[in-house]
A and B are shown apart, each in its own frame.
Chain A
Amino acid sequence: MKRGRAIAAASMIIALLASSTLYASHSDIAFSPAVPRLGGQVTEIGAPDGNGGVHRFRARQIGPSYAPERFPPGELRGWRLTFVGGKRFAKTFEVTSNTDYEFVVKALDGPLDGVAVNDMFLVEDINSAEPIK
């Protein structure tokens, strides 16, 4: 039980550190970001899994300007990933794991099939959103 609490506390601290890292140099803003979010661009498509669906790809971070240059490894699990272009335009996925350049996603709107190199996406920590006042 104590171990579970310790893990939960550690997870919370890591989450707070992650969010403060994302906003470390975010100045001169009119409105705070409603949720932590990053932009990315696909650089390589992964091989299909055993069922023939693609769930893995490589990417580079392309924003926002105040964020670190690379994706924070392991910190985007559970974040929502939405393509803003390409054949999977407006389709949403959930990040199940990530490194600083590689994503594995769970299909919310079907597999990644059709995603191509240079397609751009938003990845957002939607679970951290405050309720609307």
Chain B
Amino acid sequence: MKWSRAVAAFLLLVSSSLLAQDGRTPSDVVDAFHRALRNLDSAGALSLLDRGLVVYEFGMVDPTVEAYGLRHMPHDMDLARATSWKLETRRTGGEGNDRWVLSTYRVTGKTVDSTPIDHTALETVILRRSGANFRIVHIHWSTSDTSFQAQIQRQRQQEEPAPATR
């Protein structure tokens, strides 16, 4: 009986350290972010981002959450809508309020000119507990397909320079 109580207490301790108060693990937050992008849910995606967010994406930098939300999150929604992202590998780590989630995805689909897409996307996400929830403070995306990366860079460089931090 004492043994089962000790196990229960241990499990409670472990689970409370892994889960934010809303019950979402860091992996859940990453998956929810991808779902929000695919569902064109701008507010839902933004609500998972920390106000100090910095994004490194396909060789480009979004230094603020405003820059990402205004300039590049829409492109990510278009990309998510036009392609299928299948999770292939995931590792998680960190402790306390700071966690990381490393994922690889098989990305398939077609570009606007019907060029087939079939590559591996690499994703590093760093999350920080902010109040009751984990929020994303950093995302780094890259790809195994250099021609795809070049195409994405060309599209994103058409946009004006990202707004500076106020």
Contact = CB atoms under 8 A, between A and B. Distances in A.
Contacts of A33: 74, 78
Interface of B: 38-40, 42-43, 46-47, 49, 51, 64-66, 69-71, 73-75, 77-79, 81-82, 111-112, 148, 151-152, 154-155, 158-160, 163, 166
Contacts of A126: 40
B70 A39 contact: yes
Nearest to B76: A31
Interface of B is mostly: helix
A30 B155 contact: yes
Interface residues of A, number: 31
A71 to B, nearest CB: 15
Contacts of B43: 82, 90-92, 109
Interface of A is mostly: loop
Contacts of A124: 40, 42
B78 A31 contact: yes
A84 B71 CA distance: 10
A65 B158 contact: yes
Interface string A30-68: 111111010100000000000000000000001111100
Nearest to A84: B69
Given A29-B112, A37-B74, 16 more contacts: A30-B148, A30-B155, A32-B112, A33-B78, A62-B160, A62-B163, A63-B160, A66-B158, A84-B42, A84-B70, A85-B65, A85-B69, A85-B166, A89-B65, A92-B43, A118-B166
